Amino acid sequence: MDILNVQLQDGALAAVFFVAVFVPALAGILLGMFFRSNRVANVVASLCIVSCISGASTYFLWNAGIDLSYTLPLPSAAGQYMLSIDQLSATMISFSSVIFMLIVVHVVKSTSDSGCKYSALLNTLFLACFSCMAADTALVLLLSWEMVTLVTFLLSKNGDNEKARWLFFVIAHIGGMMLICAFVYISSVAGTQILSQWRDLGPSLGDMTSTALVLMIVLGFGSKLGLIPFHAWMPNLYASAPIHTTALLSTVCSNVAILVLMESIFTYIGVSPSMSWAAFAIIALAAATALWGAMESLVQKEPKKILAYSSMENMALVVLCMALGAVYIGESPVMAKLVLIAAMLHTMNHAVFKSLMLMTIDTVEDCTGEKNIGNMGGLSKTLPVLSVVAIVGVLSMAAIPPTNGFVSEWLMIQSIMGADLESKAMSLLMPLALAAVGICGMMMAASYARLYGFVFLGRPRSEGMKKPRPMKKGTVFPMAVLALLCLAMGFFATVFMDVLTSGIESATGIPSGPGYRSVMSGELLPLLLGVTVTAVLVLLLWAFRKEKRKARKTRTWGCGEKLDSNMQYSSIGFSQPLVKVFHPFYGDTSVVKESGDKDNKTLVMEFSEPFVKYLYRPVAAIVSVLSERIGRIQTGNIQTYFGYMLATLVVALLAVRLL
Amino acid sequence: MLMQAAALILVSPLVAGIIRKFKALMQNRVGASVFQPYRDLLKLFRKETVVSENASFLFRAIPLVCMTSMVLLAAMTPFVYSGVAAPYADVIAMVYIFTMFRFAMVLGGLEGGSAFGGMGSSREAMMSVLIEPALLISIMTLSAMTGAGFDITDISSSIIGEGAAAISPALLLAGTSFLITMVAENTRVPFDNPDTHLELTMVHEGMLLEYSGKGLAFMEMASMLRLTIFMALFGTLFFPWGTAVTLAPLELATSVVTIAIKMLVIAFGIALLESTIAKMRVFRMPNMLTASFALSLMAMISLYVL
């Protein structure tokens, strides 16, 4: 036994681990490239699942004290291909692998998007996400982040959605460019590419530079997370891409972004007091994003777009928490720890309930053929199992106790209010942040009530909803697991928080001194509250179980009329009062459409993204005008081109000489 | 302390009865006995349940969920004694349990597919976006002001301990905001009319339209309890003088008397409001609610500035 141990700990186990993660997925990619049949597609997906399971073991291996690092013996022009896993990334890798696996299981069971190529790309995406989280050199980090973007771009192909895809591609690359600049600059200053040797580089970078770098990194990852104004790609891509792509993009890829963002700010660069204005700017941006996402989600017509804006809101709250962490870290490190735990926990919770809800909505669309929430309704009578799963997801998105969504929002509010800051300006920010979180939370709750209410409750509003096809066999399994996770992470939140704590401590350098529990109110509260809710509910159910007569079923009361499917509240009407209250933000929403008939006009509500209208379109117009002007110098005459080259060379040489 | 939660639950129909009696007297009517709500509830419990054929399993569960959330809140509300029975007495959790109640109500309104229910839910959703943050902030102001952290039980004792010095702008602003929130959250005039089912301006009653029998009894009971909890919270957190901080018999006796007086005063105020003011137009409500939100925010900010 001893011999075995010695042998295993000699780096061999790490090699076995990386082989177990990479080889099945790579084999899957190869298979997927050369075959086309559906059976092979399932094999490819199964190989991905095998890789995911190996990935899920990361945390346990790390916990067993095994040094998980590996260098690929391949030469490269810039640095080495090194992987190394620390505690925080081990936690996130394990967790994300589980989510990834459940999504792949759903792919296999629903088979709506499968096909060898799709499955092979899923394998690639898993490897890209894994190596991005495990990266130990800037080279690997940037390469795999670029891979994530490219693969999600390829995965999102679905019929005629070129516009949405390309918008995503362009915005993600604007962000990617910022990241490349930032990381290349940092590695040039640090003198090494190896990320585990980057530690608090702030002083050597200088105050201004490090603040600028932090902003660049936040915006760079923000382009994927949907920070204003980079969110423009989200609603359309969510609505048009295959659901599993969306689910992966919104959960696993966001986890990657948040993890690397966290490590970049708190580990690599390190927070200095001079960054506080940047932290304010990020807090303001994140709060604006969250409010914007909440408001827009209320008026969306497609359930998938509601979820897109909800992702935006959730990720903005996570970024807000991180910025708060940066504000706190100098003055009260314990609070910083708590707020960062809240951020990471919310990221994990979001991954669980968002993938659950996206799968649910996919099942709804698949079974009924409807995409517009205005035509839905009444599904809980015909698909009762799905509606049970969905209600759990909706409750946790809306942060209703005792689900996991509640726990992370509870932690957020505590950490906003609990801080005792020296500076008055900073303390003044706290009530405003609290107000933003409070309003967002309630708006999102209204939006989720609308989502559930108009999909599952009421009377069916179209033929497809009246007689939905039964759910595909086995699709409920991953959803049920996720729903159980929603509850389990709500009841046993402290377990997850404890796991996150030491990871966050080592990543941020906060001393483990006073634990986060010392500043947290009621450390066992999630469990106690959960148990009490369940107990009281069961008690009431038991005490009033006796029914003298069986409940009688009748028609819904409709003032004596027989109600048809349109004689109920509509989803767009549901959010009208809120639109009216917040009308300055929505702009002019009602449009009168004239048809050829003189007496026939229709009033429709249209909500357009002002960011697209007032920011993206003008910029695009300017760019195309400019490129047309520049196009004039392209005469097609080869001598002119030689002239250009000569001029460029002279200018470049002069510039190098003079600077 | 469990007894105080039980007392709160038992006394809540009486509070509703007293408000109705006050209103009747102000309108020169004799009015029903103050014990009428108990009789109504008992009658409802015995009646048959009629369920809409469009309603799902959730519809049967919602009254229980609403009642559960109110029982949980009753267990965490200081009433006569500043301590509470609940081990989860956390101010943030309190606001989220209110949200849980609301969320269940809103979903319940959409069950059955009635236009009334949908309208009620829609308006409730609008109001909640403005009410809940105000509630959250005004209660958080108290916990920040007293330095008691998030534990409800510490708030009243530390305000009492400070004596008259505790009457600060923050307390007054937060208290005012809480009063507006109380009226709005419990859907009383001028925000809503609790006595009518058929006005097009209704909010709360619209959502209750489809319930019957036991379900309706639970919903009614839960809303009476909600009002009582709010009154008790105002009387013990925002104006806590007189509330017992120890379990000495004499102190408890005075506390019972003072809380009774406080609740009678609030009940009188509500009745006066309902007899003298007309219900607001739906889209004027946000103005009032925003005022409450702004007051609570000012309360919180004044804590840091002053």
In this predicted structure, what is the pLDDT of residue A591?
A: 76
Q: How far is A575 from chain B (nearest CA, A)?
A: 6
Instruction: Tell me whether residues A580 and B210 touch, CB distance under 8 A.
Output: no
Return the residue of B nearest to A438 by Cα: B133
Which residues 103-162 of B are in CB contact (within 8 Å) with A? 103, 106-107, 110-115, 117-119, 121-123, 125-126, 128-130, 132-133, 136-137, 140, 143-144, 149-151
Count Cα neighbours of A36 within 13 Å in the Cβ-side half-sphere.
Answer: 0
Q: Is B293 on the interface with A (CB under 8 A)?
A: yes
In this predicted structure, what is the pLDDT of residue A191?
A: 86
Count: domains in chain B: 1
In this predicted structure, what is the pLDDT of residue B42?
A: 93
Q: How far is A489 from chain B (nearest CA, A)?
A: 17
Q: Region A595-616: what's the mean pLDDT?
A: 80
Q: How far is B271 from chain A (nearest CA, A)?
A: 28
In this predicted structure, what is the pLDDT of residue A4?
A: 44
In this predicted structure, what is the pLDDT of residue A1?
A: 39
Mean pLDDT over all residues of chain A?
88
Dihedral in degrees, nearest 10, Cα atoms A142, A147, A152, A153: 100
Instruction: Tell me whether residues B121 and A537 touch, CB distance under 8 A.
Output: no
Q: How far is A614 from chain B (nearest CA, A)?
A: 28
Q: At what angle do helices A404-418 and B115-146 cross, to 10 degrees?
A: 40
Residue B41 reports pLDDT greater than 90? yes
Which residues 359-398 of A are in CB contact (within 8 Å) with B? 377-378, 380-381, 384, 387, 391, 395, 398
Q: Which of A449, A569, A577 sits opposite B103 (nearest CB)?
A: A449
What is the pLDDT confidence band of residue B199, given thresholds at 50, 70 and 90? low
Domain that holds residue B195: 2-305
Q: Is A558 on the interface with B (CB under 8 A)?
A: yes
The tokens describing B166, both together, are: 């505790």
Measured between beta carbons, the chain B residues lying within 8 angstroms of A377 are 113
Q: Is A545 on the interface with B (CB under 8 A)?
A: no
Mean pLDDT over all residues of chain B?
88
Measured between beta carbons, the chain A residues lying within 8 angstroms of B56 are 380-381, 384, 387, 456-457
Q: pLDDT digits over B179-193, tens only? A: 999 999 888 888 887
Return the residue of A nearest to B198 by Cα: A559
Measured between beta carbons, the chain A residues lying within 8 angstroms of B137 are 431, 434-435, 438
In this predicted structure, what is the pLDDT of residue B200?
A: 61
Longest dimension (CA), chain B: 59
Q: Is B214 on the interface with A (CB under 8 A)?
A: yes
What is the pLDDT confidence band of residue A6, given thresholds at 50, 70 and 90? very low
CA angle at A593 for the pair A592 and A599, rounded to the nearest 5°? 95
The tokens describing A176, both together, are: 């990617």
Q: How far apart are CA A419 and CA A185, in angstroms?
A: 34
Measured between beta carbons, the chain B residues lying within 8 angstroms of A525 are 88, 90, 93
The tokens describing A147, both together, are: 């891979």
Question: For chain A, which residues make up each domain, given as ranges?
Answer: 333-538, 575-605, 614-658
Instruction: Tell me whether residues B114 and A395 touch, CB distance under 8 A.
Output: no
What is the pLDDT confidence band of residue A7, given thresholds at 50, 70 and 90? very low
> At residue B87, what are phi and psi to the nearest 5 degrees?
-80, 0
Q: How far is B19 from chain A (nearest CA, A)?
A: 28
Secondary structure class of B262 (helix, strand, coil): helix
In this predicted structure, what is the pLDDT of residue A13?
A: 81
Dihedral in degrees, nearest 10, Cα atoms A391, A394, A400, A405: 130
What is the pLDDT confidence band of residue A580, given thresholds at 50, 70 and 90? confident
Q: Is A153 on the interface with B (CB under 8 A)?
A: no
Q: Which of B52, B106, B304 sits opposite A449 (nearest CB)?
A: B106
Q: How far apart are CA A72 and CA A134, in angstroms?
A: 13
Residue A487, judged by CB atoms within 10 A of its CB (0-12, 13-18, 19+), counts as: middle
Q: How far apart are CA A304 and CA A310, in angstroms?
A: 10
In this predicted structure, what is the pLDDT of residue B69?
A: 94
Q: pLDDT digits over B245-260, tens only? A: 888 889 899 999 999 9
Residue B102 reports pLDDT greater than 70? yes
Indicate the length of chain B as a whole number: 306
Residue A96 reports pLDDT greater than 60? yes
- A 10 A CB-CB count for B278 gives 9
Q: How far is B238 from chain A (nearest CA, A)?
A: 19
Q: How far is B204 from chain A (nearest CA, A)?
A: 15
In sequence order, what are the beta bridge partners of A81?
A72
Per-position DSSP letters for A353-411, written without gaps between them: HHHHHHHHHHHHHHHH----GGG---HHHH-HHHHHHHHHHHHHHTT-TTSHHHHHHHH
In this predicted structure, what is the pLDDT of residue A625?
A: 94
Q: Region A61-76: what's the mean pLDDT?
A: 83
Stronger pLDDT, A18 or A606, i.e. the higher one: A18
The tokens describing A357, both together, are: 């809800």
Q: Is B74 on the interface with A (CB under 8 A)?
A: no
In this predicted structure, what is the pLDDT of residue B12?
A: 94
Residue B81 reports pLDDT greater than 90? no
> At residue A603, what are phi and psi to the nearest 5 degrees?
-100, 120
Out of A236-250, A390-404, A559-573, B221-235, pick the least confident: A559-573
Residue where the block lists tokens 């940092």: A186
Q: How far is B86 from chain A (nearest CA, A)?
A: 9
Instruction: Tell me whether residues B118 and A563 touch, CB distance under 8 A.
Output: no
- A 10 A CB-CB count for A352 gives 27
Instruction: Tell me whether residues B65 and A428 touch, CB distance under 8 A.
Output: no
Contact A196, A188 (CB under 8 A): no
Q: pLDDT digits over A309-348, tens only? A: 999 999 999 999 999 999 888 888 888 999 999 999 999 9
What is the pLDDT confidence band of residue A553, given thresholds at 50, 70 and 90? confident
> At residue A285, what are phi and psi to the nearest 5 degrees?
-65, -45
Q: Region B26-47: what's the mean pLDDT?
A: 92
A251 sits in the region (left: phi over 0; alpha: psi -120 to 50; else beta) called: alpha
Instruction: Tell me whether residues B118 and A573 touch, CB distance under 8 A.
Output: yes
Q: pLDDT digits over A395-419, tens only? A: 999 999 889 999 999 999 988 887 7
Q: How far is B55 from chain A (nearest CA, A)?
A: 7
Cβ-Cβ pairs closer than 8 A, A with B, add up to 238
Measured between beta carbons, the chain B residues lying within 8 angstroms of A299 are none
In this predicted structure, what is the pLDDT of residue A10?
A: 52
**Mutation test of the interface with chain A: which of B94, B122, B208, choosing the one with the most A Cβ atoms within 10 A?**
B122
Secondary structure class of A547 (helix, strand, coil): coil
Q: Region A118-122: what's the mean pLDDT?
A: 91
In this predicted structure, what is the pLDDT of residue A2?
A: 45
What is the pLDDT confidence band of residue B138, given thresholds at 50, 70 and 90? very high
Q: Is A456 on the interface with B (CB under 8 A)?
A: yes
Instruction: Tell me whether residues B137 and A449 touch, CB distance under 8 A.
Output: no
Confidence (pTM)? 0.93
Return the residue of B nearest to A578 by Cα: B126
Q: Which of B68, B110, B143 sits opposite A537 (nearest CB)?
A: B68
Q: Is A42 on the interface with B (CB under 8 A)?
A: no
What is the pLDDT confidence band of residue A5, given thresholds at 50, 70 and 90? very low
Which residues 242-281 of B are in CB contact (within 8 Å) with A? none
Instruction: Tell me whether residues B54 and A556 touch, CB distance under 8 A.
Output: yes
- The percentage of chain A sitting over the pLDDT mark of 90, rounded to a whole number, equals 49
**Mutation test of the interface with chain A: which of B129, B208, B218, choosing the one with the most A Cβ atoms within 10 A?**
B129
Return the residue of A nearest to B72 by Cα: A533
Q: Region A83-95: what's the mean pLDDT?
A: 92
Q: Which of B46, B143, B301 sits opposite A428 (nearest CB)?
A: B301
Specify which of A86-90, A470-474, A510-514, B166-170 reaches the highest per-range mean pLDDT.
A86-90
Residue A599 reports pLDDT greater than 50? yes
Instruction: Tell me whether residues A417 and B90 touch, CB distance under 8 A.
Output: no
The tokens describing B201, both together, are: 């301006």
Q: Is B209 on the interface with A (CB under 8 A)?
A: yes
Instruction: Tell me whether residues A568 and B114 touch, CB distance under 8 A.
Output: yes
Residue B151 DSSP one-character state: B
In this predicted structure, what is the pLDDT of residue A112?
A: 57
Q: Is B287 on the interface with A (CB under 8 A)?
A: no
- A 10 A CB-CB count for A35 gives 16
The tokens describing A187, both together, are: 């590695």
Residue A238 reports pLDDT greater than 60? yes
Q: pLDDT digits over A415-458, tens only? A: 888 777 777 777 788 888 889 999 999 999 999 999 999 999 98
In this predicted structure, what is the pLDDT of residue B167?
A: 85
In this predicted structure, what is the pLDDT of residue A258?
A: 95
Q: How far apart are CA A502 and CA A518, in angstroms?
A: 15
- The residue among A54, A124, A138 whose CA lies nearest residue A96 is A54
Per-position DSSP letters for A226-266, written without gaps between them: T-TTGGGHHHHHHHHS-HHHHHHIIIIIHHHHHHHHHIIII
Measured between beta carbons, the chain B residues lying within 8 angstroms of A441 are 99, 132
Instruction: Tell me whether residues B58 and A434 touch, CB distance under 8 A.
Output: no
Q: pLDDT digits over A190-216, tens only? A: 888 888 888 888 888 888 899 999 999
Q: How far is B103 from chain A (nearest CA, A)?
A: 7
Contact A608, B159 (CB under 8 A): no
Q: Is A496 on the interface with B (CB under 8 A)?
A: no
